[in-house]
Amino acid sequence: MGNAVLDVKNLLTQYYTGDGVISAVNDVSFSIPKGQTVCLVGESGCGKSAVAMSIMGLIDAGSGGVKSGEILFEGKDLLKMKKHELRQLRGNDMSMIFQEPMTSLNPVLTIGGQIMEPLMEHELISKKEAKKRALELIELVGIGRAEEIFNSYPHQLSGGMLQRIMIAIALACSPNLLIADEPTTALDVTIQAQILDLLRSLKEQREMSMLLITHDLGVVAEVADYVIVMYAGKIIEEGPVVELFKNPKHPYTKGLLKAKPVINQRQEELYTIAGQVPNLATLTPSCYFSERCEQCMAVCKEQIPEIRDLDNGQRVACWLYEEVTIG
C-alpha cells in the first residue's frame, strides 16, 4: 500500500521449544495505513504478540527469531537494520505498550525518570526540558498531581495509572506507529473504557497509526478500522471492522463472535468453540482449524487454504469460499 506506515510481508517467526521448532508467525502479511488502527485478534498463543515482538526486534536470539519475510517501516526494512539503527527507531518513530505495566516499568526508578529517558535519548534535550515535557505527558494521559506522580515509584500507583504512564512513555517522542499489546488486560471495565478513549483521542490528535493486539472483541469494535483474525500463527480472515462484524466468513471468526456474551439477551448457556488449539510443533499440511470446525470437508484435512479476496473487501483462508473466489 502506497500510504502504509508499516508493511509486513510473508513474515515467518520461529521459537525453539522442548517440543522442537515452532512457527509462531507463519507467512503473515498485512499493512497499516497512516492514521489507521489495525487490530490483531485471536486466542492466546495464536501469534499476536510474536508479530509485535518481531516488528520491534525484541525476540531474544537464543529463543528464536524472524527466519524470513520483510517488515517495512516507512519503506525501510527493519530486518536489515543494525542494532543501533533499530534502537534509534524504537521509542522514537515507533513505540510499544506492553501487556503488564508493573513488570515493564523499572521498580527502582521514579516515574518521571522513566518518562524522561526516551526524551533525553532520542531528542537530545536538557534534563530541565525533559522534566517539563514529562510533566506535560503525565497531564496529557489524564493523571492529575503531575509533580507528585513524577516523583513516585511504580509500586505507589494503581494498575490503571501505570497503564497511563506506559502510554505516556510510548508517546513521549510522538511516534508514527504505536503498538499496543493487550493494553487493557487486568484492568476493571471502567478503567478499560478510559484507556481506550485515551488511545483513540491521542491517535486522532497526533495522526498516528496503531497496531492493537487483543483477544477482546469488545475492544476491537470500539477502536478498530481494520481487523485481522489469527489462528495457530496464520491469518485466517481480515477486513474492515464493520464488514467483519456484520458478515464474518471464516467458521472460527463466526465462533468467536458467537461466543461473545450479549447484554440484555437471555442465554441459557454461553457458546464455546469445541476442541483445543493445535500443538504448533505437530501441525500437518491441512487447515489448522479443521479438527474444531463444524463445516469441515475432506479437502480441509488435506491442504492448507490460501487467503483469498472476497467481493466486500474481506479476505478469508477457507475452503468454503474456493468456488466463490475462482473464476
Measure the N-to-C terminal CA separation of the chain; round to a whole number of Å. 25
Q: What is the pLDDT of residue 324?
A: 41
Residues 6 or more apart whose CB falls under 8 angstroms from that of 190 comprise: none
Q: What is the pLDDT of residue 162?
A: 92
Q: What is the pLDDT of residue 298?
A: 94
Residues of the chain falling short of pLDDT 70: 1-2, 186, 261-268, 323-327
Contact 183, 163 (CB under 8 A): yes
To which residue does cell 490503571 refer? 160
Residue 243, number of CB atoms within 10 A of its CB:
16
Burial of 123 (0-12, 13-18, 19+ CB in 10 A): middle
Q: What is the pLDDT of residue 201?
A: 87
Q: What is the pLDDT of residue 325?
A: 40
CA 310, CA 326: separation in Å to the nearest integer? 10
